[in-house]
Structure 1
Amino acid sequence: MADDFTFFAENVLFYGVPGCGKSYSVEQRYEKQVTNKQCKVRVVFHPDYTYSDFVGQLMPVLEEVPNAQGEKEEKLQYKFLPGPFTRILDVAYANHHEKCLLIIEELNRGNAPAIFGEIFQLLDRNDDGSSKYAIYNSDIANEVHKDKLCPIKLPPNLTIVATMNTSDQNVFTMDTAFQRRWQMKHIPNRFTGESLDEKTINHVAKHLPNSEISWGVFAQTINKKMHTANLGFGGTEDKSLGVYFATDNDLDDAERFAEKVLKYLWDDAFKLGRKELFNDCSQGLSAVIEAYEDAKGDPLKKVLVPEVYNEMQKKMAEMAAEQAKTAEEKTSEEEAAESAAEDNPAQKPAGEE
C-alpha cells in the first residue's frame, strides 16, 4: 500500500506583512516534517530569475570522449543541468517513501507565472497529492525517469511551499489561474495574545535603544497611525511593521534601528505623509537619523511628533498598570490559598499518631 501523504502534498502560499513570521511558519509547519536533508530544496525568486534557472538549462561542459582512434580527449559538450525544481522532483521520485519539500521564498518578487511556465499545470492535485494532469518535457523526463518520452507529474510525497510579502504586490502580479492552484494562508501580525510563544513575548517586550518604549508598543502605535493617517495611498496594512521586522540585534543598537526601521518609515510607509510621524522633515532623512543617534534622553521623543510619542507613553503606562494589577491579584490568590491551608490542615491517616 502506498504511503499516505494526503495531508502533506499540497501547494501552500504563506502571505503577510514583512517580518510577520512567514518563513518561521514554513519551518515549523513543514520543514520539521522533512527528516532527510536531501529531500528539501529552497530557492528565492527575484526579478532576474527565469524558467531556465528554476527548471534547468543546456550548458556547455568539457567532457572526455573517445576520438576516432579510440583515445580519450576533452571536447565541448552540451548537457542539461537541472535547476531546483528538477532536482527536488528527481529526489522525490527516488525517495518515494519520504516527504520532500520545495520552498520558494519571495514568490512574487519574480515573474512567477513565467518562471513556472507549463509546470503550473502540475499544481492541480488529485486527492492523493499527485498531479491531476501531466506535461511533457524531454529534459526533465530524461533527468528524472531516464526516458525522454515519459510524462511528468508531481508525486504525492512532494509539497511546494512559498512565501509572499503583501507589501510587494506591485512587484509582479499573479493572475487568478496561477493563484487558485495554491492554498493561501495568511500569517497574522500578532504582538499580543495567548497564542504568542515565549520568544515572541520577550521580543515584543524588548525596549528600543536608549528608550523607555518597548518594540511592541512602538510598532503597534506606528501601525495604528499608518492606518488612520491620510498617507495618499491605499493598502496601508501592507506597509505595517511586522512583529519581527526588527531583530533583537536591531533593538540593541541605535544605529541599526535607525537605519533599518526609521529609514523604512521615511522612505516607504510614510513617504507621502512624513509630517504625520516625524517631528522635523525639513532637513531630510539623514538629519532624522543623526538626531535619533545623538539625542540626550529618549531618542524617540526627539524625532517623533509629540502626539505619537505621547500615545506610546500612555500605552506603556497602561501596560505597567495592568501588569501590576495582575501581579497583585496573583499574590492575593496565593495568600488566600495559604490561609485556607492553615485553617484546614490535612488530616492524618487513621492509625498514625
Structure 2
Amino acid sequence: MKTPIQKILFGSPGTGKSYRIDREIVPIDLRIKSPENVIKTVFHPEYTYGDFMGKLVPITISKKVEYNFYEGHFLKALAQSYKNLLSHQEGEEVKNVALVIDEINRGNSSAIFGTVFQLLDRAENGWSDYGINVSDLELRKIVDLIGFEEAGTEKSGEGQIPTYKYEGKGQAKTLEKHQDLLSKINIEIQNNKIIGSCIRIPPNLSILATMNTSDNSIYFMDSAFKRRWEWEFVNWDKSKPLAATYGTAGIVDKDEWEELIKKLNSFIKSHHTSIRGIEDKQIGYYFIKQPVTAEQIQNKLMFFLWDSVFNRDKKPLVDLLKVTRDELVTFGDFTKLHNEFIANIMNLNV
C-alpha cells in the first residue's frame, strides 16, 4: 500500500478473497498496531447511502427526542485519512487507511456510492481527479472526526458562526480562519461554507472489495462503475496467472494499446447480434489508464468482456479462440487463454 489501491477481488465463493485482503494486502501494522485505520463493512440489500456516507438518527435523552448525525463507513475512512495527513510529522510516512467492503455486489452499489462515485477516478498523485460538494452536516462531521472541536461562536453578517480549536490547541477560530490547515487536505472554506468541488479521496486511502463472480442475489454493477476499479481474479485452484507473451516487462505501450482497442471494438461490433446495448459495450482508450499492464488486461479488460459484453453469448469468444464450448465454461478458463486471445485480436484484419 505504498500507492493507493482501489481494487475488487472476485472469484468463486470460498476462494479466500477476504482472507487475502486481511492477511496479505492490508499491512500488519494497520491491522494490529493501528486498527483505527482499517474500516470494514459488508454490503447487503438493505445497506444505503446513509449507511455509507452518514445519516441523522433519532435518540431519546431525558424523554426528549434528539437527532444526531452518525458518520457512515466511507465518511469515517475519509476523515481518518485526512486526520493522518494533518497529523503526520516531517520525515515520517503518512499512515494509510483501508476501507474494506465485503460482498460489494450484494448491495445496490450505484445507490450506495451515490455522489462518491465521482471520487473513484484517481489522478497520478493519488488524489481524486474530481471532487464533490457535501452538506453542512457532513462537513461538520468530517472536521469533528479530523480533530476540530467546537469552542463557541463568532458574530458575522450571517449571524452566529461556530468557532473551532484544532486538537484543543490555540485560539478558537472559524473554519475559514483555519484555511492554512484545511488546504493541506484540499478543502476550501469561504463564509463558513465549502466552496468548489473540494472533497476528494486522498492518496493514503485505499478501497478494497470482494465479490463472487456469479451470484443469484446480486445487484447489477454498471460499466461506468466497474471501470473505476482494478480487478483481481482469485481462482478456486489457487493457480497463478500465466505470464503474458505480449508487452515488454508486463507493460503494453500506448500505440499497442490503442491498436488493441481499435481491433477489439471492431470485433465487438462485428458480433452486435450477440450483444445487448452495443453502444455501452464499446471500450474507450481510458478504460485502463496508462501505463497499461498485462495483469490489468487479463483481469479488468477480459472480465468486462466476459461478464458485460459477451455475458449472453460466449460463441464469439469460442470461435475466436478456436476452442470447444466445453473448454470455455468459466472465466477461469478464459483468463488462462489471455495470450491466445490478445494474439488473435491483434491478428484480425480491420
- Flag the structure with larger Rg: 1
TM-score, normalised relative to structure 2: 0.49
More strand as a share of residues = 2
TM-score, normalised relative to structure 1: 0.49
More helix as a share of residues = 1
